[in-house]
Amino acid sequence: MSRPESESEAPHSEQLLSEVAALPGLPGVYRYFDAQGQLLYVGKARNLKKRVSSYFQKNHDGTRIGHMVSKIVRMETTVVRSEAEALLLENNLIKTLAPKFNILFRDDKSYPYLKITGTRETYRTAGAKPIPMIAFPRMAYYRGVVDKRHSYYGPYPSAWAVKESITLLQKVFRLRTCEDTVFANRTRPCLLYQIKRCSGPCVDLVDSEAYGRDVAAAERFLRGETQAVLDELEARMMAHAEKLEFEQAAEIRNQMSALSKVLHQQAVDNVSDKDVDVLAVKVQGGRACVNLAMIRGGRHLGDRPYFPAHVDDATQIDSLMAEEGSRSTDPAERVAVQVLEAFIGQHYLGTAMPHTLVTSHAVGKPLLDALTEQVGAKVNAVHQPREHRRIWLEMAQKNADIALARLLSEEGSQQARTRALAEALGLPDDNLDELRIECFDISHTAGESTQASCVVFETHRMQNAQYRRYNIDGITPGDDYAAMRQVLLRRYGKIAEALREQGELAAGAECAAVGTASLGDADTPAAGTDATSGLPTGPRLPDLVLIDGGKGQVSMAREVFQQLGLDLSLIVGVEKGEGRKVGLEELVFADGREKVYLGHDSAALMLVAQIRDEAHRFAITGMRAQRAKVRTGGSRLEDIPGVGPKKRARLLQRFGGVRGVASASVDDLCTVEGISTELADAIYRALH
């Protein structure tokens, strides 16, 4: 096999080319790696030999494909039985390994659900005498692992959608939403009963049989059986009227009226479609948006936009697929289809999904076959829909357009701010996409629960996954300078040591002892971990270290960096201006430069303030959580042998908090699932 001209500067090894030549003409998945072992790309093919050979036989000079191919030093392949299996394996590897040149969607399937507790028959009949909380199930917002004892409806695209549905069900069926601990201790009805949002089961204002009918009707409504619910309510109303029970008949009439009003509030409701996902994609300016709208029980529950990474890289590389038989000759349409198929493959992998998808672009049959194989039932994708489905798709498409336009506007503004800051501070501006800023802040309340926060700004946005908190101890309470010294030593001590081993720092620089490990010590992205792949890339310092403070804090940071042998020009303090007014901040430098005032309307100052405020917010929330844990004794349960996270959660839920657990008797503790008599006795003794 001849080597491509584009790779003359970095020729591939004979071993790699011989492996390519020996590939079988079967379906499978291939993976490319660079010299450092970092995964570059994952792809699937109907014919491995033909697909992989095209990378090495053609001239890709000056393109992203050429850039990637020039880095390939190793290849792995997996042969499978069908293209559907290849699709499933490809998307599984993309999700778990996050290759640098694939279209990547954030793996966020933590959708909220609407939960109705204890409605499963096995749970309700488990005991001879029903527990009041089980006899009167509650509605609740829920996000987490599904418990088989309860019923779950959704998923919903947002927390707001769940809470809106709960409000609607309260108006119609008046189910309780209070916690079990509150329900068990009520002596008089709450405000929700007064405003006719609850039937008052906590004080026996409704019997369990009548309440059970309302629960069953609510569940049918959530499943989309609205007409059956209305018919049943009408039959019950007429039965009461025939018995001259006009008050009860009037109550049911009001229920029907409220339910009809709810149904008419949403013009796009449709009883023929129960569960459908609507997917619309928009590609523009090198970015893409996939808008997912959810239809559950015939009701439109709302939508959520998703923005993939690496669209330009991946779509140019995947342009080779056009030669294998693309469904569209329009490059823009091809990109949209690739983005949509990447989303469907990654989003629905390993999770429950509706059997009908309404899509803005036609997706390939192999992808639908793969989903069908995974789900175990036929999955259909409807392109160019009609009637109510067309309305749903138009709504999703419009929302995708709006979300992408907003993203491009925000990114343009953020990039302008990054460039302005680089110019103001004399930072290199040849590759602003990789400019990394770390900002530190100290937070405590009169010296109590001192915490330091470190937030990270990179690729023109805040990188939430790389935020770290550090618990500060061993200092005089309230000593912010000592706290700053400790967090900087812990953050950069290991990096300085690694750089010194590589000869990038002076051999004589003294390395400070790094403090005891805490949250963030063991996982420092700046200290040699690629943020997307998680693979080692060598130690790296940020381009700028922002300190929320003036000369004092900057002096402490300078001492730490001198001790570690690091560059002092990295340190910049954000000093509050006269009267601590926003917009009057000045920048203080550790290397002796004069203070700089950027101007209240400076784009650079806006970015500095954004990062500084985020560090402050992150520190405050961590400090408050730590302080609340200390004051409530939250750690006391954690220290009891045999009480893990699940048992601790059950105890806190049953008794309403640590104080409630402490006031419970051994017999009361035994009523909690998983708590034996011996463990209950140990808990009681530990808390007393």
| For the chain, domain boundaries | 5-77, 113-265, 276-405, 432-615, 633-687
Residue 228 main-chain phi, psi, to 5 deg: -65, -40
Percentage of the chain modeled with pLDDT above 70: 80
Give residues with Cβ within 8 angstroms of 264, minimum separation 6: none
pLDDT for position 523 = 45
- Is the pTM higher than 0.75? The answer reads no
Whether the predicted pLDDT of 605 surpasses 50: yes
> For the chain, what's the residue count?
688
Whether the predicted pLDDT of 278 surpasses 60: yes
Q: What is the mean pLDDT of residues 648-656?
A: 78
For the chain, the average pLDDT equals 79
Only one residue has tokens 């949509």, namely 340
Contact 51, 324 (CB under 8 A): yes
Residue 314: CA count within 13 A, CB half-sphere: 27
Strand partners, 278: 293, 358
Q: What is the mean pLDDT of residues 316-338?
A: 65
Q: Do domains 5-77 and 276-405 have the same CATH topology?
A: no
pLDDT for position 424 = 86
Instruction: Tell me how far apart the alpha carbons of residues 441 and 454 are, in angstroms, rounded to a whole number.
Output: 7
388-400 pLDDT, tens digit per residue, is 888 899 999 999 9
273 confidence band (pLDDT: 50, 70, 90): low
pLDDT for position 510 = 45
Domain 432-615 classified CATH 3.30.750.24? no
In our burial notation (b when 16+ CB lie closer than 10 A, e otherwise), range 584-611 reads ebbbbbbeeeeeeebeeebbbbbbbbeb
Whether the predicted pLDDT of 634 surpasses 50: no
pLDDT for position 163 = 86
Q: What is the mean pLDDT of residues 512-533?
A: 40
Least confident span in 212-216, 437-441, 531-535, 663-667:
531-535
DSSP letter string over 546-582? Answer: EESSSHHHHHHHHHHHHHHT--GGGEEEEE--GGG-T
Domain 633-687 classified CATH 1.10.150.20? yes
407-441 pLDDT, tens digit per residue, is 888 878 888 888 888 888 888 777 888 889 999 98
255-267 pLDDT, tens digit per residue, is 777 666 655 444 4
pLDDT for position 451 = 84
pLDDT for position 335 = 86
Higher-pLDDT residue of 450 and 80 is: 80
pLDDT for position 533 = 37
pLDDT for position 126 = 43
Q: Which fold has domain 276-405?
A: Nucleotidyltransferase; domain 5 (3.30.420)
330 confidence band (pLDDT: 50, 70, 90): low
Q: What is the mean pLDDT of residues 233-242?
A: 80
Residue 534 main-chain phi, psi, to 5 deg: 75, 10
**In this structure, CATH architecture of domain 5-77:** 3-Layer(aba) Sandwich (3.40)
Q: 363 vs 156, 423, 539, 564, CA distance in Å?
A: 24, 46, 43, 55
pLDDT for position 512 = 41
Instruction: Tell me how far apart the alpha carbons of residues 566 and 551 are, in angstroms, rounded to a whole number.
Output: 19
Least confident span in 53-57, 89-93, 210-214, 491-495:
53-57
pLDDT for position 360 = 93
Instruction: Tell me how far apart the alpha carbons of residues 344 and 249 are, in angstroms, rounded to a whole number.
Output: 49
Instruction: Tell me how far apart the alpha carbons of residues 203 and 637 are, in angstroms, rounded to a whole number.
Output: 32
126-156 pLDDT, tens digit per residue, is 444 445 567 889 888 888 777 778 888 878 8
Give residues with Cβ within 8 angstroms of 371, minimum separation 6: 344, 348, 353, 379
